[in-house]
């Protein structure tokens, strides 16, 4: 009788990847009951998980539209693909994108991050958040979405 080979546990390293900074952001906009006059510089980040099994997972995808960068006065902004590349991972190495919640600054960058092996899903996953949903043409395009939607 043969036994199945022993599975090695998968380990992940977690890295905060900064896209930019929101200067002097009103803290009460993030923390209920905070002093309305309190302000702080808030980092705009996504999380990159590097698995020992070769998986490269983004938790949230940030955003890339210049209109939003200008509107929110983001300082030292870099696009999600540029930020991920600076963290040592090519955008086409991203295998999964997990979205914590559906705000523009968490899902907008999915269209700017080429994920060659990932498959978009439209249903919630049993893990944290949702897997990115986007149209197939945008998902497969290299940067800003082929269909323009």
Place of tokens 């890295």: 15
Whether 90 maps to a domain, the answer reads yes
Whether 91 maps to a domain, the answer reads yes
Q: Which two tokens stand for residue 99?
A: 């979205």
CATH of the domain at 97: 3.60.15.10
Between 7 and 20, the more confident residue is 20
Distance (Å, whole) CA 147 – CA 149: 6
Whether 51 maps to a domain, the answer reads yes
pLDDT, tens only, 58-90: 998 888 889 999 999 999 999 999 999 999 999
Whether 118 maps to a domain, the answer reads yes
Range of the domain at 115: 12-140
Which of these ranges, 32-36, 38-42, 53-57, 126-130, has the smallest mean pLDDT?
126-130
pLDDT at 108: 80
pLDDT, tens only, 22-33: 999 999 998 999
Q: How many domains does one find in the chain?
A: 1
**Residue 7 gets which letter from DSSP?**
P
């Amino acid at each position: 009788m043969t036994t199945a080979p022993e599975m090695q546990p998968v380990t992940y390293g977690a890295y905060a990847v900064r896209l930019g900074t929101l200067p002097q952001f009103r803290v009460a906009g993030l923390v209920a009951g905070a002093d309305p006059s309190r302000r702080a510089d808030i980092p705009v980040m996504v999380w990159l998980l590097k698995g020992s099994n070769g998986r490269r997972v983004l938790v949230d995808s940030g955003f890339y539209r210049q209109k939003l960068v200008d509107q929110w006065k983001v300082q030292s902004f870099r696009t999600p693909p540029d930020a991920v590349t600076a963290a040592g991972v090519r955008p086409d190495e991203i295998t999964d994108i997990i979205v914590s919640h559906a705000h523009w600054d968490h899902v907008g960058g999915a269209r700017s991050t080429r994920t060659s092996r990932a498959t978009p899903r439209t249903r919630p996953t049993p893990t944290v958040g949702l897997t990115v949903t986007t149209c197939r043409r945008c998902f497969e395009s290299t940067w800003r979405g082929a269909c323009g939607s």
